Amino acid sequence: MDQFSATDAALAGFRAAREKPRTVAIWAGLMAILSFVVAIIVVSTFGDQLTALTEALEGDPDPQTTFAAMSGMWPLFLGSMLYVLATNSVLLAAVNRLVLRPHEGAGAYLRLGVDELRQALVQVLLYLVLFAVYFVGVVFLAILAAVGAGLGGQGLGVLLGLLAGLGLLAGMILLSVRLSFVSTLAFDTGRIDLRQSWGMTKGRFWPLFGAYMIAMVLAVVVYLLLFVMIAAVGAIASMAMGGGLAAAGDALRNEASTLKDLLSVGGVIRSLLSGLMSVLLSLIVFAPAPTIYAQLKGRDAGV
């Protein structure tokens, strides 16, 4: 099969949530518990430093004060990157499994094994490839702007820099779309193959780009709706517990810089809804690629 429906693929995440509500509920519950535990560890370990960093970034931040507040927080930054890498790897494998192997539904499609490790390697590899292209593009942009400024003045340099920047953005989007099947191919074939993804997406850039753009727009809409819901529920819970308008205002800002805030009724509710948010956003963003892959392969997708 050479064609696919961009709109159908973009809505694959919503269909998964509708057709597999129990699976999505389990994912959301596990993510909420995991996020809550991690938040407790972070706040209890780095709470004072996070508060100082937040205060340093308010108003007109001073670089020296900001760097001072960030000193000693590298374990948090490193841990956060590893946490995101691990959770994304598990969710990517689970979404691929749900779409391509719907019969493997035991454990709500969640596993901890070679498929998840392979997804982690794919994410690291794609990041390095995109970063390398971005770095080379930025260097070329700076050289082009300097040459333009030397030949035709500051105006020409700015124009050439702007055109080069737009070209770099277009190139990054093109590369991201052309390599969008790497994760699914790694799951389906057991091989990390950039070339095969490049070949499968040849001549299909615009339909793929359209599907991914629709999914991203829908993800933003869902994020905004759930963010408002989380803030409103937290505020209502804080007021119901006698926190007053000040506590409601803190809940609306979605702040939890202390264990007291995190363990409050509003904090617990926000954590539960945040788990649902992260799962829904992952479904919306991750599901289109394996769905399109299945259609191109002439296989029935699980959703």
Ordered per-residue pLDDT tens for the chain, 303 residues: 567 778 888 899 999 888 888 998 899 889 888 888 887 888 777 767 777 766 666 666 667 766 766 777 778 888 889 999 999 999 999 999 999 998 888 888 999 999 999 999 999 999 999 999 999 888 888 887 777 666 666 666 677 778 888 888 999 999 999 999 999 999 999 999 999 999 999 989 999 999 999 999 999 998 888 877 777 766 666 555 555 444 444 444 455 556 666 666 666 777 777 777 888 899 999 999 999 999 888 766 556
Helix (H, G, I), strand (E, B) or coil at 29: helix
Report pLDDT for 162. 81
Q: What is the pLDDT of residue 242?
A: 53
pLDDT for the residue numbered 239: 59
* The predicted structure's pLDDT at residue 207: 92
Which one, of 293, 302, 13, lies nearest residue 180 by Cα?
A: 293
Angle between the 265-286 and 288-296 helix axes, to the nearest 10 degrees?
Answer: 20
pLDDT of residue 211: 93
Please list, in sequence order, all residues whose beta carbon lies within 8 angstroms of the beta carbon of residue 263, skipping any fewer than 6 positions away: 40
Looking at residue 240, its pLDDT comes to 58
Check residue 92 and give its pLDDT. Answer: 94
Residue 236 DSSP label: H
Instruction: Tell me how far CA of residue 30 lies from CA of 37, 207, 224, 273, in angstroms.
Output: 11, 34, 22, 12
pLDDT of residue 249: 46
**Burial category of 67 from C-beta neighbours within 10 Å (exposed 0-12, middle 13-18, buried 19 and up):** exposed
User: In the structure encoding, which two tokens stand for residue 39, read together?
Assistant: 């938040």
Structure confidence at residue 151 (pLDDT): 67
Provide the pLDDT for residue 275. 77
Residue 220 neighbours by CB distance under 10 Å: 12
